[in-house]
Structure 1
Amino acid sequence: MSSNGHRGQAAVVISGISVGLATITVLLRLWTRYFIVRCLGIEDYCIILALICAIGLTICIGIQAEYGMGEHIWTLTPNDISNSLKAFWASLMVYYLSLGLTKSSIILQYLRVFTTRRFQIACWLVMAVVVAYTVWTIFGSIFACVPVRAFWTREPAKCINQFAMWFTNAAINILTDFAIIILPMPVIRSLNLARRQKQALMGIFAVGGFVCIVSILRLQSLVAISNSEDPTYDNPPAATWSSVETNVGIICSCLPCLRPLLTKCFPSIFPSSFQRSADSAAACGRRAYNPDSKAQSIPPSPADSKFSSASTIRVVTVVEMHMEGSEEDQPDRNNGWTEEQCTSSTERDR
């Protein structure tokens, strides 16, 4: 293997490490949701599918490297070129599908956390954009050339301007990332919480900002590959950033769900009182606002009226566990919630 070939191997190694970290994070999330919170939601199944696609992307990158990714195209045999470009073509589908499933998982989690009417409408609108974008990018990638085989045979064909298509897709991808980050912020600001609690809660939802950074960094690699005459040589940076982007997205979507696990494993570092009530509410994965609660309830402020006329807002248990301080800070929190209240709110939700 020439020194150029190491560029392809580096892409495989980085992709393998990132997907390994994503796999560990998803497994921890599933353990938390199934054994501690005791509630697997549709968003958890979406993230499982997103991880499967991310693993598929890593496999595609490995196949590309096996057939010459990182080498100059004129040094490869026609069979190697064809196989490498086939894997590249397949990688586009699993890449876009993984992104779409990850975004959908986050939005579905929002819908379970906050039930104000206008916020839910906004979530469904963003979800519609994400679904439409995902469908378009997958079909656009499949039929980038007509006939389809021209993508890897390099025969004369009618092909979409890849520079325009990929950068349009990247722009929409970044915009939807920002929209997903911004969505819950107005609702969180309207909650009657201490500033420290609001900042902590905003930080939880803003973790996705790392994905935006990676998406922006990926743009530079697209310039080289979009209209390249030497795609096998120019592809490793784009392949690397694409894999890192999908896996960082999966990891960021899982991090807010891990607090119950951290609390269970490291109670001295992540203290959590009010365990009985939290465990009861965890059976359905959410808790309802109780107007009689003095210490733990979260009544909507007047500013929240612009989002909904509803008098309640439900906050998912795992998110509220992030908001909880130490037992000394809030000694009366058990007065706000009881196991029976949580159970009755669950039955009303059903």
Structure 2
Amino acid sequence: MASNLTSFPPSYIAETTGPRLIAIASVFIALDASIVALRFATRMTHKAKLGVDDYIIIPALVFSLGMCVISIVEVKIAGVGRHLPVLYIEDPQAVVNWAKCGYAIEEIYCAAVAIPKLSILASYLRILTAKPYRISTYIIGGIVSANAIAGIITSLASCRPFSARWDINLSTSNCLDAPRFWQGINIPSIATDVMMLLLPLPTIWGLHIDKKQKIALSGVFLLGSFGMIASIIRLVVTFRVTALSDGTWDSADIATWSLVESSCYLIAACLPALRPLYLGVINTLKSLSPYSTTQGQSSSGLDSSANPRRHLDIEMNPYRRIGPLGEEAYCPEYSSKAGQVPPTVATPVHAFDDSPHVKY
């Protein structure tokens, strides 16, 4: 190892990816807080009853924000984003801080990834009524929890003694290989992601609704793939890092994808609950559109019997359940007016909102 900074090119000494990590973390702090706030605002606006998935999302937000905060702290006091050989000479204390922060980010990461996934699984229980699917949901939740607990315990026991990670007087051979640790908790996490993506699809495609609605509902549940994509990219990064010889530099990429992954799971858990808000915005925009108003006026003189579905006007009453047991399909009671027909497709229960929504 070089003994003075003159051994390194000036560009190598000044090179850092820390500002990029701080910028990404700051964006996700605002995004995570906003998306959870909108989730609860939507619940209250539509007077929807809070479920287990809503309560779980609160600690999920805390740990997701924790990932962002610890990433910023690593840049500020631990030199993450800069080259480790430079820090050994220029700021040895930053190297000690980096090693200590490693413990914190590992424990926070395990919880930040697992808890929003548990919220997603809890939301599945709102719509999966068949016993085999509910049992599968609980099993996947158990695997997610066990993987997180195992990751935390392994991290805490990764060095013997505990201070061997940052104490230069102790042999680093007493610690586990950090990249292999990240890979060990990533692979089971990706496996559970795949299970979670596939689990609700048979139920959705078994509903008595048209194909477009089935595709739309499937898309809602596939939002969880955002987190899985980030997890796969992060796994690739850990395989690229064979050893932490330049640990503070390599840690910037790992920390970036770790916080992106946890935030994507949080956002994926909240987006389906925002569907009423999205529909309200779309309907408002349509009502304000001059084109829709003109079209409505120009078609008012047409014979409704020629195309009755274009003049559908149904007075909606509370929903009533239909279909065999095990299927969450609802359709509205209606009173049709002259020359009008009711919708021919049952509207699926919105798993994340108790307020009625109708699509024709």
TM bracket (short chain): 0.7 to 0.9
Aligned to 1:68: 79
Bigger fraction of residues in helix: 1
Over aligned residue pairs, what C-alpha RMSD do you find? Answer: 3.1
Amino acid at match of 1:101: I
Distance 2:219 2:247 in 1: 40
In 2, the alpha carbon distance for the partners of 1:333 and 1:39 equals 29
**Residue 181 (structure 1) aligns with:** 197
Q: In structure 2, how many angstroms separate the alpha carbons of the residues matched to 1:215 and 1:312? A: 33
Partner of 2:180: 164
* Residues 217 and 334 of structure 1: CA distance in aligned 2, closer, same or farther (over 3 Å): closer
Name the CA distance, whole Å, in 2 between partners of 1:140 and 1:59.
23
Q: So what's the TM-score if we normalise by structure 1?
A: 0.77
Distance 2:30 2:341 in 1: 39
Quickly say closer, same or farther: Cα 1:270–1:184, change in 2 above 3 A. farther
CA deviation after TM superposition for structure 1 residue 40, in Å: 1.6
The residue type paired with residue 18 of structure 2 is G
2:235 corresponding residue in structure 1? 219
1:114 is displaced (CA, Å) by: 1.7
Q: After superposition, what is the alpha-carbon deviation per residue over 1:71-117, rounded to whole angstroms, capped at 9, x for unaligned? A: 22232223211112222320111111011101100000001222111
1:19 matched residue in structure 2: 29
Query: Gapped runs of 5+ residues in structure 1?
Result: 279-288, 292-298, 301-310, 322-327, 338-342, 344-350
Structure 1 match to 2:135:
121
Shift of 1:25: 1.0
> Within 2, Cα distance between the matches of 1:21 and 1:52?
13
Task: State the 1:245 CA deviation.
Answer: 0.8
Q: Are residues 148 and 34 of structure 1, via their aligned partners in 2, closer, same or farther at CA, if it must alter by over 3 Å?
A: farther
* 1:10 paired to 2:20: yes
Aligned position for 1:53: 63
Moved more, 158-167 or 127-136: 158-167
Stretches (4+) displaced over 4 A: 268-271, 273-276, 332-337
Describe how 1:1-350 pairs up with structure 2 within 5 A: 3-5=14-16, 7-66=17-76, 67-76=78-87, 77-154=91-168, 155-156=170-171, 158-225=174-241, 227-268=243-284, 277=318, 290-291=321-322, 299-300=323-324, 311-314=325-328, 331-332=342-343
Contact 2:207/2:328 (8 A) holds in 1: no
Superposed displacement of residue 9, structure 1: 1.7
Deviation at 1:269, TM superposition (A): 5.3
Residue 275 of structure 1 deviates from its aligned partner by 6.4
Task: Could you tell me which runs of 5 or more consecutive residues in structure 2 were left unpaired when the two chains were aligned.
Answer: 1-10, 288-313, 333-338, 349-353, 355-360
TM-score by length of structure 2 reads 0.75
Larger Rg: 2
3-state SS of 2:283 partner: coil
Q: Could you tell me the percent identity over the aligned residues?
A: 28
The 2-side partners of 1:14 and 1:105 are apart by: 24
Relative distance call for 1:128 and 1:270 in structure 2 (3 A) is farther
Structure 2 SS opposite 1:290: strand
